[in-house]
Structure 1
């Protein structure tokens, strides 16, 4: 049924598992858990569905992997029951984390869950059985008869025979006026006290009968919570953290982060903090801000970062050209960014460069590159306009190999992301030449439009290249023009998981910098 069920820590220590299909779980960790996307209800990859539940106070993750072709009901309930049992063993039984033998407990949980799943499946297959579940009609006293429901955590066998279910009847309107009815309609008196207590009892919130003691406890409880909000050690609950989620979400939106991304990121941070405790002498707001800051910084320094200089020097040692393809829409500064990267590799790594003019569509594109090549004193390879870009790039790479040139910088035509006829030649160029890195060039000013451009370029390349390859990294231009509205950087990385290689901070060649994640975080949350 399941390909994998497992319990593991965020540090990667597997505490318990059934099944051994680890590859989808590795994708889940890299793509969802490490990228702060835990707000998602599930993740689908290569025909497998992955679902998970978190126990933040013990830093634990409960995960299930199963085939998309064979859907399973109530996976969330199974994970929830596993989590509750594990938490019980840790807190109530005080069993050390690594000494928990979970197999027997799991079998009990699994068998109960399986019964419930089968019951649900049987009921959905025979809809006529649902006629048995007739909603009870409230009586005059305000009580109602409830239908019994089985739950995974509370299932008790009953030896009582089932009683025949009476059909509900609806009485007609009673239009007689009595003294009792007049009193019931009198709103001048406080008639709600008993009903409120009944409601509290049903919610499990009823207090003791001694009202003086309750008032005293309530005062000290409120006083203690206020002290804890200043001094820390207060358990974080949803109603306390909800205003902070809204506040920080609005802050991110004002800094040019996409609305959906802001909501998802803040919700993910909120979920990770629930039922944990604030540190000593640390407020909840500070705790949330620090956690959010760490999450954003982690996102902006992904593990799949490409160090172009290091990789180009490694390729030089192997005596093979290092090939970089630049793509993006019109007018974002692709050619200028290409020239800046060429200058960076030439000055920092003492590498030889050749520029390949593969924008054979736009008039003046080759002439623009020639200005850069003359200024940088590097050769330009071009075959005029109207040629197939993929073949031009292939010839440029051949020249680089024959002449021992270290790096090939390939300029491509600017194209709108939804223009199918222009996206195909880009995919063909990647297919033919298999470059070392494909770089998307976008503006830091555009916000959500830039996210759409990047995601569409990435998706189209993945669909149309033979290897399913997409964009490898991002260069953000005009970063010096956005002041503190640096949200586009976060939006692009969060949406695709692609690293930002460089940011453009001016018009001159040296004005190309590595992204400082701490500076971005400071600007976003200031």
Structure 2
């Protein structure tokens, strides 16, 4: 059932290997190393590749990796136990060799040739235990063994604490009311767990309290009436008559005219479009965004956190010795040592807007990485955990590939076609606004842009893009063209026509705006998938706001799932290529949405919107985000 079991170290040296068949699993092992181990995805317990399942276990003390490979159609329930047993036995037998790196690298596999017999015994034990567990039939509990049989009627009766002081009544001296109530309870077939009937003393007490309550209410009403002043109350002001005439006079028109008069007006009394547009744009922005985007600025208040933690430990420890104990970590880290620090770190990440699932998975990955690691005598466990979290977050946020739009635009121009970017996302996250910012950045770098008004659903969407186009043309003359076909049109066909128009006009870039849609809206998600499938854009960007928390996981998972489900059968589905993070200036240090979105998609954050003007566009600064999360 096991195809392969191998042991190698993190340097790539294979120490021992067991192979059942003749198939080579080099590609699968390399994929595991590349996509899981090197990415420090310690939260991943198994990895599937080419119809086989790979389970692994890390030994951080000796930097070993134990891997078992079996066919995915096989349910190998003892794989985890086998990994634990083999790793423990291998460490016990060859501890001296593993500690001496020179001997290990000199002899390699020859130093571990006798481990085959030990492995066969461990494998046989695991298989026998699985057979025994399968043969064992779990018998149902007898009634006498169940918790229900231990309950009696006496144990279900709840008596008040005050009833204990009362004298017990004589045996058999039940009142008539008690007898009638008990008869009703047991004859009606109600559940035994229902509350017991009230005693006469309880009923009398409740009746007395009700009577006192109503007396107080009546007396209060009388006093309140008498306390009112005899003076007459002031009359309410009546409604004024409303004028409903649709007409108006010249005086009314003058009052309603808020337009500022200027000296330069056209023949019909209106200002020219260029003058109107120039009122609302800041011409001093021109020339400030040439070249690559600036990165987010890093805050400067991260330096003294370690000192603050030490001072807090001394203040709360109750003396010099307790503070000294807080500074001392164990020689070899265990899961119990790491649990408190990781739990605190997880809560901190969630408070910084990291979704619960990514926060939990990151902490699990760090726990597996640090478990078994030997640290110095005076090394603090919290410091080790924080350093590992910082490394994991940095590796997660660092792009696996660089999205260089300016270079790709030049390449597309050489091919005689426009570079196409599609923007998608939920409602109200700022797709159109950030599309305009990206347009301004492209104009600053000498590229002419065609904006496709693909949001044919939301009222005012086309007018919003028309206003942006007018203002952008006021900053860079004839650099932006808006392609629109009104409302209610098919967005996929509109995007195709826009790309054809851009090719004819020799525009450099096409930015396709789409309607905001919730991730559960099946018709709109199908329409988005059709737009991407038909037009094959160069880049698909998901626009998400930095304010979102756990919702980011649901949005991205379902957007990618919809694009995958509605892709052309037999072809590789086109998923989200990058992320635009908006409203970054509104969140202070709660930057966790960047981690959540990157963790779910594995794609880079290409743009960060951080203000209200066209120049408020930045690239992601990984160091700034990590420092804000760990602040």
Note whether the superposition's TM-score is higher than 0.5: yes
After TM superposition, the score normalised by the length of structure 1 is 0.75
Q: Is residue 2:180 matched to residue 1:84?
A: no
Q: Is residue 2:458 matched to residue 1:362?
A: yes
Counterpart for residue 109 of structure 2: 101
**Superposed, which structure 2 residues align to 1:288-437 within 5 Å?**
288-348=385-445, 350-377=446-473, 378-437=480-539
| C-alpha distance in structure 2 between counterparts of 1:6 and 1:316, whole Å | 50
**Superposed, which structure 2 residues align to 1:172-211 within 5 Å?**
none
Contact 1:257 1:491 in 2 (8 A): yes
Q: Deviations over 1:240-286 (max 9, x none)?
A: 22211111111112111122322221222122111212247532211
| C-alpha distance in structure 1 between counterparts of 2:326 and 2:579, whole Å | 41
Shift of 1:233: 7.8
**Superposed, which structure 2 residues align to 1:121-270 within 5 Å?**
121-123=130-132, 126-127=135-136, 230=327, 234-270=331-367
Q: Deviations over 1:15-35 (max 9, x none)?
A: 665553344445544544344
Counterpart for residue 442 of structure 1: 544
Q: Deviations over 1:15-69 (max 9, x none)?
A: 6655533444455445443444312332345643221101112333222333221
| C-alpha distance in structure 2 between counterparts of 1:232 and 1:410, whole Å | 55
CA distance change for structure 1 residues 13 and 295 in 2, over 3 Å: closer, same or farther? farther
Contact 1:5 1:65 in 2 (8 A): yes
CA distance change for structure 1 residues 517 and 4 in 2, over 3 Å: closer, same or farther? farther
| C-alpha distance in structure 2 between counterparts of 1:361 and 1:286, whole Å | 52
CA distance change for structure 1 residues 239 and 436 in 2, over 3 Å: closer, same or farther? same
Counterpart for residue 54 of structure 1: 58
Contact 2:81 2:126 in 1 (8 A): no
| C-alpha distance in structure 1 between counterparts of 2:80 and 2:133, whole Å | 19
Shift of 1:382: 2.1
The match for 1:41 among 39, 42, 45 is: 45
Q: Deviations over 1:155-194 (max 9, x none)?
A: xxxxxxxxxxxxxxxxxxxxxxxxxxxxxxxxxxxxxxxx
Counterpart for residue 150 of structure 1: none
Q: Is residue 2:491 matched to residue 1:491?
A: no
| C-alpha distance in structure 2 between counterparts of 1:281 and 1:121, whole Å | 45
Q: Secondary structure at the match of 1:324?
A: strand
Shift of 1:481: 0.4
Structure 1: gaps spanning 5 or more residues: 132-222
The match for 1:513 among 606, 618, 631 is: 618
| C-alpha distance in structure 2 between counterparts of 1:109 and 1:78, whole Å | 12
Question: Across the two proteins, how many residue pairs are aligned to each other?
Answer: 433
| C-alpha distance in structure 2 between counterparts of 1:374 and 1:399, whole Å | 19
Q: Deviations over 1:136-169 (max 9, x none)?
A: xxxxxxxxxxxxxxxxxxxxxxxxxxxxxxxxxx
Q: Deviations over 1:296-321 (max 9, x none)?
A: 11111131342323332333333332
Counterpart for residue 180 of structure 1: none
CA distance change for structure 1 residues 443 and 77 in 2, over 3 Å: closer, same or farther? same
Which region of structure 1 is more displaced relative to structure 2, 89-98 or 242-251?
A: 89-98
Shift of 1:344: 2.0
Counterpart for residue 630 of structure 2: 525
| C-alpha distance in structure 1 between counterparts of 2:499 and 2:114, whole Å | 62
| C-alpha distance in structure 2 between counterparts of 1:73 and 1:61, whole Å | 20
Contact 1:353 1:379 in 2 (8 A): yes
Contact 2:355 2:552 in 1 (8 A): no
Bigger Cα Rg: 2
CA distance change for structure 1 residues 359 and 105 in 2, over 3 Å: closer, same or farther? farther
| C-alpha distance in structure 2 between counterparts of 1:422 and 1:77, whole Å | 47
Contact 1:3 1:20 in 2 (8 A): no
| C-alpha distance in structure 1 between counterparts of 2:414 and 2:562, whole Å | 33
Q: Deviations over 1:436-486 (max 9, x none)?
A: 111100110121112211221112112222222211111110011000111
CA distance change for structure 1 residues 358 and 112 in 2, over 3 Å: closer, same or farther? same
Q: Secondary structure at the match of 2:556?
A: helix
Q: Secondary structure at the match of 1:386?
A: coil
Shift of 1:104: 3.3
| C-alpha distance in structure 2 between counterparts of 1:308 and 1:446, whole Å | 26
Counterpart for residue 476 of structure 1: 581
Counterpart for residue 78 of structure 2: 74
